Chain A
Amino acid sequence: EDQVTQSPEALRLQEGESSSLNCSYTVSGLRGLFWYRQDPGKGPEFLFTLYSAGEEKEKERLKATLTKKESFLHITAPKPEDSATYLCAPLVDRKLIWGLGTSLTVNP
């Protein structure tokens, strides 16, 4: 059965304190992996797509990486506006397998 586990469930950082979020997956036939950001009461906002192991994508303070079994979202020098829930979703057979997310809080 396809499974996705995100850790930690919640993370609290001080502004400027870098960290990483983990997305571990066990799926058959990975076609890509997507990262999203979700603010309370809003729909997920697309951040990155990674298609193959070793691939990296960057956007402002965020960098996503992919291996054959997991993906990391690295947050460098976060700001309070980076507070959100971050979701990862491997793409298998045209369908996304969603993790439960990591709730990130960045304190000023």
Chain B
Amino acid sequence: SQTIHQWPATLVQPVGSPLSLECTVEGTSNPNLYWYRQAAGRGLQLLFYSVGIGQISSEVPQNLSASRPQDRQFILSSKKLLLSDSGFYLCAWSALDDNQPQHFGDGTRLSIL
């Protein structure tokens, strides 16, 4: 069966510090991968998605970036965090075929001080 791992579960970072969140998927090949942010009282906001190694689409202009160095690894990064980057970050995968459901990790709660 497929599993998705996301870490860390909780992170507290000072303003201006760098960020690296990692997500890996097991039990499937060539998945579509997604990064979302969920702010309190707001819906899930799609940040990035990837249909293959090195292929990244950005949905929202911001100081975050994403990379996919391996087929089942997806990384969310920032060079300098802003207060507004606080939130709940979720990684998800779906099968490469169109119209398939997305499956989520347990998220990272990021607090910027």
Contacts and interface: CB of A to CB of B under 8 A. Distances in A.
28 contacts: A4-B43, A31-B98, A32-B99, A34-B101, A34-B102, A41-B106, A41-B107, A42-B106, A42-B107, A43-B104, A43-B105, A43-B106, A45-B104, A46-B101, A46-B102, A46-B103, A49-B99, A49-B101, A51-B99, A89-B44, A91-B99, A95-B46, A95-B49, A96-B46, A98-B43, A100-B42, A100-B43, A101-B43
Contacts, number: 45
Task: State which size class the interface on B falls in.
Answer: 10 to 19
Interface of B: 6, 41-44, 46, 49, 90, 92, 98-99, 101-107, 109
Contacts of B102: 34, 46, 96
A34 B101 CA distance: 7
Given A99-B43, A100-B42, A44 B98 contact: no
A94 interface: yes
Interface of A: 4, 31-32, 34, 41-46, 49, 51, 87, 89, 91, 94-96, 98-101
A96 B36 CA distance: 11
A31 B98 CA distance: 9
A62 B21 CA distance: 34
A31 B99 contact: yes
Given A44-B90, A49-B99, 10 more contacts: A4-B43, A32-B99, A43-B107, A46-B101, A46-B102, A49-B101, A95-B49, A98-B44, A99-B43, A100-B42
A46 B109 CA distance: 20
A94 B106 contact: no
A47 to B, nearest CB: 9
